[in-house]
Amino acid sequence: MKKEQYQDKPIVFVIDDDEAVRDSLRSLFRSVGLQVAVFDSTKAFLKNKLPNAPSCLVLDVRLPDISGLDFQDKLAKDKIKIPITFITGYGDIPMTVKALRAGAVSFLTKPVRDEELLDAVRIGLQQDRARRERDRTFSELRARFDSLTRREQQTFGLVTAGLMNKQIAAKLGVSEITVKAHRGNVMRKMAARTFAELIRMADVLGDKAPPVQPPSDPLDQA
Amino acid sequence: MSRHGIILATCRAVIAAALIIMPCAGGALPQQAQISDTQLSTNSDAGIRTLSIWQEHSWLVIAAVSAFLLQTALIVGLLYEDRRRRLAEAEARQRLSESAYLSRIITAGALSASIAHEIRQPLAAIVSYGDAGLRWLANKDPDYAEVKNSLTKIVDQGHRAAAIIENVRALFKKDIDHRIVLDMNSVVRDVFQLTANELKKHNITIKTALPATPRPIVLGDRVQLEQVIMNLFINAIEAMRLVNARNRFLIVSSHVEHAKAVVMAIQDSGPGIEPDQIDKIFTPYFTTKSAGMGMGLSICKSIVDSHGGRITATSTKGHGTTFHLTLPLHSTVTP
């Protein structure tokens, strides 16, 4: 499996159609202890399964099959989130602006200065690491949230919106005691030690938390 | 004008036709009705009715009128056709000079861009191999095998870059095959034709001294030498924009010097070049124009150099600039 081949170490991918450029960049990244994989085309890159580790892409703008900028769009459309650093032999300002607007880490002209390239790659890996962390936290919270009953989810939404127990009880059409019980369950199941932590979790989950249902369902008594 | 000739000739033809018809029309006399009195019954009245021109000669009238109409239509048609041709020619000339001017810019631009890209790849590789090699050396445990690999690759890529440059040179060298025996006067005339529109548009008065003998013949590439002259013309036109329209002169002359060289002089009446700049004008990327690349004259110089000639400029501030183009005379005796 390709996944195991890269382990979980950060990895730099390079796509450039020029063999010498590819090889020299591989040597450069290896010299600073980075794991690296090089490809001569975007097709070859896509055939390869992306590892579950922080990764970033060093992409040549002028490629034979597709322009690097178009490939950036394609990756975005396919929801492949990988920070990109462009390298090009002929960069102009509109091209640079387009790439950076679309989220590129950096846009460097060949021949590239090694500090600039290594800095860009480090930033890219850092961005990807942070995104992975965010994604992981989100999916964990999401799983916890999904483990709540519907009433508890509703309580979660109202509590974190700043409502008092009494108000929630009125909204859901239950007694205040029941709300307190729901609230205790929410804190426990979401693994929130403090109320502030629970609010931060609500922020991370954002509008992913389902809207509060009208209190018209007396059967749903958790 | 030939148009007036056609109209006059037509008028004459119509008048002649009318004169032929007229006498016939008036020729019917009563006595000519050859009927004797015996053949008529008594008390009968004999009268003679003169036939109208129309009744007697209707076919002639029709023929004359239709001939007239046909000729008129023909004249109108010819005039229209003539006008159309003139417009088309003017447009074609304009397009030709525009495209020649554009291609001059595009070729230089495209060529330098593609060479730059080709050379940039090995350069990028050399720089990265060098950086990598330095880092391999600087590591706590220097990896000499990697350093050696980097150095080997640097040497390879250096050779690759040299090969690319050699290829480009070879590409230019091919042009030697295009060298033919050329009359420089005809080259100049071609360029005049190509730039006729521009010259006219800017009200530039042209003076030439292009003697046919001795013939100013050189061995050269027609397109390249036309490019040189064209470049000088366009520079002259652009320079003379800055002076009063009545004082715009382009003076072109050629002569054979000491039976050895063809010398051309292209003189404009523009504002001239500053004395401290005149030595730099053939240097690449030097320009006095706001939108210039500074490639035109340096390309001219490299073309002239490759033809074994030389190009110089003299200028008096306020009195214009003269470019002197010297090329070896082609003699049929010595190869």
CB-closest option in B116, B121, B136 to A21: B121
CB pair distance less than 8 Å for A90 and B128: no
Q: State what percent of residues in chain B have pLDDT above 90.
A: 17
The SS3 assignment for B314 reads: strand
**Is the Cα dihedral A130, A136, A139, A144 positive or negative?**
negative
Residue range B120-149: mean pLDDT, rounded:
93
CB-closest option in A28, A31, A90 to B113: A90
Give the pLDDT of residue A222: 40
Chain B partners within 8 Å of A111 (Cβ)? 120, 123-124, 126-128
Cβ pairs A/B, distance under 8 A: 79
ipTM over 0.85: no
The DSSP letter of residue A112 is P
- CB of B319 within 8 A of CB of B269? yes
Instruction: Please give, rounded to a whole number of angstroms, the shortest distance from the CA of A89 to a CA of chain B.
Output: 6
Q: Which residue has the higher pLDDT, B96 or A137?
A: A137
Give the pLDDT of residue B229: 87
CB-closest option in A23, A32, A110 to B120: A110
Ordered structural domains, chain B, with CATH = 101-177 (1.10.287), 180-328 (3.30.565.10)
Q: Which residue has the higher pLDDT, B298 or A126?
A: A126
Record the tokens describing residue A218, joined without a space: 């007396």
Q: How confident is the model at residue B17 (pLDDT cuts 50, 70, 90)?
A: low
Please, where in chain A does CATH 1.10.10.10 lie? 148-208
Give the pLDDT of residue B181: 85
Distance between CA atoms of residues B268 and B255, nearest Å? 18
**Is the Cα dihedral B167, B171, B176, B177 positive or negative?**
positive
Global pTM reads 0.51
Q: How confident is the model at residue B27 (pLDDT cuts 50, 70, 90)?
A: very low
Distance between CA atoms of residues B201 and A64, nearest Å? 46
Record the tokens describing residue B192, joined without a space: 């005049």
Distance between CA atoms of residues B288 and A214, nearest Å? 78
- Of A44-48, A122-126, B140-144, B289-293, least confident by mean pLDDT is B289-293
Distance between CA atoms of residues B121 and B128, nearest Å? 11
H/E segment holding residue A185: helix A176-189
Which positions in chain B have a beta carbon within 8 angstroms of at least one beta carbon in chain A?
113, 116-117, 120-129, 131-133, 135-136, 139, 143, 146, 149-150, 153, 156-157, 160
Residue range B36-52: mean pLDDT, rounded:
71
Give residues with Cβ within 8 angstroms of B246, minimum separation 6: B203
Instruction: Please give, rounded to a whole number of angstroms, the shortest distance from the CA of A142 to a CA of chain B.
Output: 44
CB pair distance less than 8 Å for A110 and B123: yes
Record the tokens describing residue B166, joined without a space: 């050699």
Please, where in chain A does CATH 3.40.50.2300 lie? 2-137
Buried b (16+ CB within 10 A) or exposed e, B24-34: eeeeeeeeeee
Residue of A nearest to B141 (CA): A31
CB of A119 less than 8 A from some CB of B: no
Give CA separation, B223 vs B104, B282, B302, in Å.
11, 20, 14
Record the tokens describing residue B213, joined without a space: 């003998």
Give the pLDDT of residue B233: 86
Q: Are strands A106-109 and A55-60 parallel, antiparallel or unpaired?
A: unpaired
Instruction: Please give, rounded to a whole number of angstroms, the shortest distance from the CA of B246 to a CA of chain A.
Output: 44
Record the tokens describing residue B269, joined without a space: 């009446």
Chain A partners within 8 Å of B129 (Cβ)? 24, 27-28
pLDDT digits (tens, 9 = 90+) for B186-205: 888 888 887 777 788 888 88
Distance between CA atoms of residues B175 and B172, nearest Å? 6
CB pair distance less than 8 Å for B117 and A27: no
CB of A64 less than 8 A from some CB of B: no
Chain B partners within 8 Å of A18 (Cβ)? 121, 124-125
The SS3 assignment for B138 reads: helix
What is the residue type of B289?
A: K
CATH of A148-208, one of 3.40.190.10, 1.10.3470.10, 1.10.10.10, 1.20.1050.40: 1.10.10.10
Instruction: Please give, rounded to a whole number of angstroms, the shortest distance from the CA of A58 to a CA of chain B.
Output: 14
H/E segment holding residue A64: none
Question: pLDDT 10s per residue in chain A (222 long)?
Answer: 344 445 578 999 999 999 999 999 999 999 999 999 999 999 999 998 888 899 999 999 988 878 899 999 999 999 899 999 999 887 778 888 989 999 999 999 888 999 999 999 999 999 999 999 988 889 999 999 999 899 899 999 898 888 888 999 998 888 989 999 999 999 999 988 998 989 888 888 876 555 444 444 444 444
Give residues with Cβ within 8 angstroms of A213, minimum separation 6: A150, A154
Examine residue B284 and say whether the peptide bond preceding it is cis (omega within 30 degrees of 0): no
Phi, psi of B327 (to 5 degrees): -130, 145
Q: Are strands B261-268 and B249-257 parallel, antiparallel or unpaired?
A: antiparallel
Q: Mean pLDDT of all residues in chain B?
A: 78
Q: Which residue has the higher pLDDT, B172 or B43?
A: B43
- Length of chain A counted residue by residue: 222
Give CA separation, B21 vs A47, B25, B230, in Å.
97, 6, 63
Arch. (CATH architecture) of A2-137: 3-Layer(aba) Sandwich (3.40)
